[in-house]
Amino acid sequence: MDVAFALQLLLILACLFFGARRGGLALGLLGGIGIVVLVFGFGLKPGRPPVEVMLTIVAVVAASATLQASGGLDVLLQAAEKLLRRNPRYVSVVAPLTTASLTMLCGTGHVVYTMLPIIYDVAIKNGVRPERPMAAASIASQMGIIASPVSVAVVSLVAFMAAAPVAGHVIDFATLLSVTVPSTLVGVLAIGAFSWFRGKDLEDDPEFQALIATPEGRARVYGEGTTLIGKTLERRQWVAMWIFVGAIVVVALLGAVESLRPVFDGKPLSMVLTIQMFMLLAGALILLATRTDAAAVSKNEVFRAGMVAVIAVFGIAWMADTMFDAHLGAMKDTLAGMVREHPWTYALALLIVSKFVNSQAAAISALVPVALSVGVPPGYVVAFAAACYGYYILPTYPSDLAAIQFDRSGTTHIGRWVINHSFILPGLIGVGSSCLAGWLMAEVRGLI
């Protein structure tokens, strides 16, 4: 069994590695190779596809993509830009707080793409090394996912926690967010504090000074700027934004006050189904109230990224569940003692898996059920939830690559050795601080 387990684990790692390198749908599709080999080659019983998680992704993405198609997203982005331009000296702290907040509201880190050129313009025009706010903003935008009431990662974690009560009580939606929201903000503030002082000031950076020494180089670096300030927003855009924000508030309220949800068979309606219902409702109301072209919804970045996430979660989580479920008994005996004595090893494993799958939701779907099965206390799963973001380790994620491209000064970069890039230190500091804060919050809440 040891040899078979090693071969199957190598198969999964190979699918993750090559899928991550190819990007896009490849990650989920290569999971299909893995599941076929495991079932037909090794004779393992097929695991359970994460249907609830996938349907929730579809519902959340439908609402978010409709918000973008209606122009409602511009309302949030314009407000964020005004905040940045009013506080240019503090852009290294304000920028990551802004992008994390937008992610927490919208449930996706892809809103950062519109903010990056604005952050660059604010920094370069005020003599701030662009690497400081740019790298911090990219990292913070992804950290906000685990603190968003409408993100796929949070919904997935809530679903898994429902089956793992602590002292007879289920760690519900509100309890989870009461740990992840403050711990995420602690991590984002830690990134901002570090970024304020990182790297050389522009006037002391010989590479930057050489770049702007020519008129052409100076024109390229400083450019004309990008802005949403002054853009007239239509009434329908405001309507779309308030519908979306209102749906998030309702979802958060229903999660916090269980008695507001209808009861079926003696149990309140699950938050997974509640989120699915209200996200579909929000998308429908935006579509009807703003007369948005339904065909435009499926053509924007949020929709495309969300559908890729569905395929990734489908293939990777199904493959991992098949393999780990077959060896659950042996894994419990081997790992139970280790994770009980050293719970932090779970956080490290989650971080590594996240890097392989480039998705917080996929990492949670792949590892949390296994961790709970082998004896990781549910409180530690919540405490170290921030560790599901580890894809900053290598600079291959789209938001990081976009930050490099938008920084015309060249200060946001990939180093000669690849691993020494602009995002590695903010990522380690942010996630590490969040995990520490999460552990303290979980202790206070009596979860561990």
pLDDT digits (tens, 9 = 90+) for 388-437: 999 898 776 778 877 887 888 999 988 777 678 899 999 999 999 999 99
How many CB atoms are located within 10 Å of the residue 407 CB?
A: 25
Q: 7 or 337: whose pLDDT is higher?
A: 7
Q: 234, exposed or middle or buried, with CB in 10 Å at 0-12, 13-18, 19+?
A: middle
In 3D space, the residue among 127, 178, 234 whose CA is nearest the CA of residue 383 turns out to be 178
At 305, which amino acid appears?
A
First to last CA, the chain: 34
Residues 214 and 221: their CA atoms lie apart, in Å, by 11
Query: Which band of pLDDT confidence, cut at 50, 70 and 90, is reported for residue 343?
Result: confident
Tally of structural domains, the chain: 1
CB 129 within 8 A of CB 205: yes
Cα dihedral 174, 175, 177, 180 in deg (nearest 10): 180
In 3D space, the residue among 4, 12, 7 whose CA is nearest the CA of residue 357 turns out to be 12
Rg of the chain taking only CA atoms, in angstroms: 22
- Which percentage of the chain shows pLDDT scores above 90? 35
Rounded to whole angstroms, the maximal C-alpha distance in the chain is 74
DSSP per position, 287-327: HHHHT--HHHHTTSHHHHHHHHHHHHHHHHHHHHHHHHHHT
pTM: 0.71
The answer to whether residue 200 scores a pLDDT higher than 90 is yes
Range of the domain at 109: 2-444
